[in-house]
Structure 1
Amino acid sequence: MPKLPRTVNLPVPAKPTRFEIVEGLRITAPVAAGYIPLGLAYGLLVVQLGMPWWMAPALSLAAYSGSAELLVITLAAQNTPLAVIAVTMLLVNFRLLFFAFSFPLHAIEGRVARLFSMYALVDEAYALTAARPNGWTKPRLLAMQVLFHLTWFVSGLVGVFAGALIPTQIQGLDFALTALFITLTLDSARSMSELPSAALAGLSFAVAMAVAPGQHLIVALLFFVACLSVRHILHRRGILRFPDSLPPSGGAGQVRHEGKAS
């Protein structure tokens, strides 16, 4: 019997850095395009609320988080105390701590590069790495995060300059923040397992409006976090169980019918 040639597992050569950067930009570009209209609305909102123009780029550098920046601008325009704004920012961005547990930060070497990646960790960057769990390298990750940040920064600046050229107030522009959170809520509540969270959010807001109408936002956020913590503990102990999805139409009757037939 003839001997088969012996196969040798050679290491896969690393791809060039330029290829990894281009690949990161290619993956990120369609998602980053969604930043443009929201960034324009953010810049316009800064001007429309009477805030100084430099606040838009300053916040994009100091507190890089789209939803949180819109929230800070709205609260600052209402002369909200600084302590309330700080706590609200902490609660809104607290989710990023859990994103970091599964983000491929281990692929990034170097203290400066790793610190930037931690700073530039946003929802869209986490979503891309979660959807594509393999193949992330340092150049690809940094290219993704730089493009996200640059797109948001430039869009905000263009919105500021565009807002300065508009002589009249745009009615309803301050609804951009509310519309953003409504969209995020509807996008996340697509199954029965997420409906309890939406119900708890509504309950938290109702309680806050009844208990502290003057500080309803911060009270609602704190109460909502407390409710989620209690729900998590009860779920871990097996006391609470929620179905994962809605049953199909007529599904229950079909199951009973098949059970009798068997």
Structure 2
Amino acid sequence: MGLGLLPLGLAFGVLITHAGLPWWCASLFTAVVYAGSFEFLLVNLALAVTPLATVALTAFLVNVRHVFYALSFPLDRVRGRLARTYSTFALTDEAYALTTGEQARSWSGARIVWLQVFMQLYWVGGATVGALLGSVVPNSVTGLDFAMTALFAVLALDAVREQRGDLPTPVLALLSALAARLFFPGQMLLAAFTLFTAALLTRESTTGKRTGEGASRA
């Protein structure tokens, strides 16, 4: 995953340079903001000198999914206030995807934190190098801002493959996204996560009741 973030960071760094921002903005954004897809949006917001209130609202709407991530992210394994603070700050889509899978159930808190540290180093390093070398990449190259979307698509495919015996979950996710796109196009991400969470809770409640009834009858 770290090696995957490296070219993604390069693309972000090149985008910074082509936008006319100084190269160090790439290092600053990736080290301090560290919000993936929002960083790509932040480039245009910075160029437009967008008011801070609008930037804050945009950041909230784009990253509100992290509220849902916190429901199952294994922060309880991380020891120490400093480590827990950094782990919360560095909770990205990639970190969540890696640490909540079946293979990560035995990982220690130290391994989780170091995983997040190295992933950010790949991201910051790639963006810095991309910004420094951005001048040699022709302006005719397009699609760099799609790199983050492509990575999300890969993560989604990996998640579906890990749940081969659980077809209803990806189907619920797809239906939630379609419903959000149809009824809440302006707040699609937040609406999709809310609908998906509600659907999972409803399914869990229904399944639990059925299991309890079956046990009582037996």
Q: Same fold (TM over 0.5)?
A: yes
User: What RMSD over aligned residues (CA atoms) do the two structures have, in Å?
Assistant: 3.2
Partner of 2:152: 181
Kindly state the Cα deviation for residue 160 of structure 1 after the two structures are TM-superposed.
Answer: 0.8
CA-to-partner distance for each residue in 1:204-225, whole Å, 9 max, x for gaps?
A: 123344xxxxxx3xx2123223
Aligned to 2:28: 58
The aligned residue for residue 223 of structure 1 is 191
Change (3 A) 1:40 1:112: same
What are the residue-to-residue correspondences of 1:72-83 with 2, within 5 Å? 72-73=42-43, 81-83=54-56
Deviation at 1:137, TM superposition (A): 5.9
Alpha carbons 1:68, 1:89 under 8 Å: kept: yes
**2:58 maps to 1:85:** yes
Q: 1:221 to 1:173 in 2, by over 3 A?
A: same
Going from structure 1 to structure 2, the CA distance change for 1:187 and 1:129 (only over 3 Å counts) comes to: closer
Report the Cα offset of residue 148 of structure 1. 1.7
Residue 36 of structure 1, CA deviation: 1.0
- Structure 1 residue 205 corresponds to structure 2 residue 178: no
Amino acid at match of 1:223: A
Aligned residues: 198
- Deviation of 1:155 (Å): 0.6
Q: Look up the equivalent residue of 1:57 and give its one-letter code.
A: S
C-alpha contact 2:180 2:192 (8 A) present in aligned 1: yes
Map of 1:13 onto structure 2: none
Q: How far did residue 135 of structure 1 move?
A: 5.7
Correspondent of 2:142 among 156, 159, 171: 171
- In the alignment, the residues of structure 2 paired with residue 235 and residue 132 of structure 1 have an alpha-carbon distance, to the nearest angstrom, of 25
AA aligned opposite 1:159: G
Give, in whole Å, the separation in 1 of the partners of 2:141 and 2:107: 45
> Which structure carries more helix by proportion?
2
> How far, CA to CA, are the matches of 1:155 and 1:165 in structure 2?
15
Give the alignment of 1:143-162 within 5 angstroms: 143-162=114-133
Match of 2:215 in 1: none
Contact preservation (8 Å) 2:180, 2:188: yes
Q: Which has the larger radius of gyration?
A: 1
Partners of 2:145 and 2:191 in 1: CA distance: 25
Q: Say if 1:68 and 1:93, in contact at 8 Å, map to a contact too.
A: no
- More contact order relative to length (CA 8 Å, sep ≥ 6): 2
Select which of 102, 105, 109 maps to 1:133: 105
Deviating more after overlay: 88-97 vs 198-207: 88-97
TM-score, normalised with respect to structure 1 = 0.61
2:77 to 105, 108, 129: 105
Deviation of the 1:153 alpha carbon? 0.7
- Are the counterparts in 1 of residues 5 and 126 from structure 2 also a CA contact under 8 Å? yes
Identity %, equivalent residues: 30
Please say if residues 35 and 63 of structure 2, whose CA atoms lie closer than 8 Å, have aligned partners that are also in contact: no
Rounded Cα–Cα distance in structure 2 between residues aligned with 1:129 and 1:208: 29
Other structure's SS at 2:91 match:
coil
SS at match of 2:108: coil
> One-letter code of the match for 1:199?
L
Report the Cα distance in structure 1 between the residues aligned to 2:65 and 2:144, rounded to whole angstroms: 21
Q: Is the 8 A contact 2:68 2:193 kept in 1?
A: no
Distance 1:73 1:189 in 2: 32
Give, in whole Å, the separation in 1 of the partners of 2:100 and 2:41.
26
The one-letter code of the counterpart of 2:36 is G
Return 5+ residue gaps in structure 2 as ranges.
Answer: 208-218
